[in-house]
Amino acid sequence: MSVPRKILVVRLSSLGDILHTLPAFQSLRAAFPEAEIDWLVEKRMKFLLAALPGLNQLMVLDTKSLRSRPWSLDAWRQCGRLIRKLRARRYDLALDFQGLLKTAFLIYLTGAKVRMGFSRELVRERPAHWFYHHYLRPPAQQTHVTRLNQELARAAGGIASSGPFPLSVGDDDRDTILARLRVDRLSEYVVINPGGGWPTKRWNAAKYGALASRIQEELKLGVIVTTGPGEEPLFEEMCRYCTGAPPRQFSVPFRQLIPLYQGARLVIGGDTGPFHLASMLGTPVVGIFGPTSPVRNGPLSQHDEVVVHLLPCSFCYGRSCPTQNECMDISVEEVFSAVTRRLARAREPR
């Protein structure tokens, strides 16, 4: 394949999955510094890629309008305009990192000279691989989804990349977080993110509260709780089980999580977007995993900690559970021990 001048990356959603695709983008950018690289993303996720250095154009698809109003001529006209815009770019290479029928069909409609994606065994919807010229076959053993994405980029000529991924943040957002930390007198702090897209991925909020108390009282570190829309009850439940001073709540825009997490001693959470952001930034993390595999979805660094209970039904990827979510019945002591180990390891010379 000749050196591509224009490349399209397709990963529409979700937050964590887009974060897992960033190193693959970095690999392509490093290999093709002169190329124009665009990204096709869902409208509700474009805020994340606004912080991505080296991206030429952000192509936005409003899938919410299409799903909620499939009969709307205006929604379909918007989709048609996007397809024409993509075709006008005349891509030399398009890569589908999502593996759905819709994403595979979209890169087919772009008319890209070379279309690449995952094999039948790896795509989420099996007929998707029919739309690719070339596809990545599965590795011999399960691997992290980030590394799988990097392998697809490398198959397209990308250069292997490693280390923390740089995400840019504006001075206003950084200054806002630094000012808030000064007001709350927080210089050494741990962040807890108790939320999760699926109920089955969330550790008990009461246990998070007990954990926050132990971190504050025994480790003498401040605790910040980051919450998203609709997660106020999780913080309130945590506070009810704090034996001392309650932790601080930071309900901030996602872009402000970047400087907040960069300054943290540690971030604790489950398999969710903010947790993956911290891991991508190189911040030490402790993950609490249940229905999803930490091998595929866990932290990237071998120095990080994961707490998991192995059961016959482990890693079912279920959004509901007939056995009362036994895999997440993890004690506060287990997580606190992982926290102390990770903090101690972070102080060790490398």
**CA–CA separation, 227 and 192 (whole Å):** 9
Residue 163 pLDDT: 64
Report which DSSP code applies to 37: E
User: How many helical (H) and strand (E) elements, i.e. helices and strands, does the chain have?
Assistant: 13, 12
User: From its phi and psi, is residue 157 left (phi > 0), alpha (psi between -120 and 50) or beta?
Assistant: left
Question: Mind listing the pLDDT tens digit of every residue in the chain (350 residues)?
Answer: 689 999 999 999 989 999 999 999 999 999 999 999 999 999 989 988 887 889 999 999 987 776 767 677 877 788 899 999 999 999 999 999 999 999 999 999 999 999 999 999 999 898 999 999 999 999 988 899 999 999 999 999 999 776 667 777 889 999 999 999 999 999 999 999 999 888 999 999 999 999 999 999 999 999 999 999 899 999 999 999 998 889 999 999 989 999 999 999 999 999 999 999 999 999 999 999 999 999 999 998 999 999 999 999 989 999 899 888 899 999 999 999 999 999 999 887 55
Residue 347 pLDDT: 80
**CA–CA separation, 222 and 13 (whole Å):** 33
DSSP 50-85: TT-TT--EEEEE-HHHHHH-TT-HHHHHHHHHHHHH
**CA–CA separation, 250 and 321 (whole Å):** 30
Residue 349 pLDDT: 56
**CA–CA separation, 274 and 43 (whole Å):** 19
Q: Do residues 314 and 297 touch, judged by C-beta distance below 8 A?
A: no
CA distances to 54, 274, 277, 335 from 254, rounded to whole Å, are 20, 8, 10, 25
Instruction: Tell me the residue type at 223.
Output: V
Please report the domains of the chain, with CATH numbers, ordered by start residue.
Answer: 6-155 (3.40.50.2000), 171-347 (3.40.50.2000)
Q: Do residues 96 and 132 touch, judged by C-beta distance below 8 A?
A: yes
Residue 160 pLDDT: 79
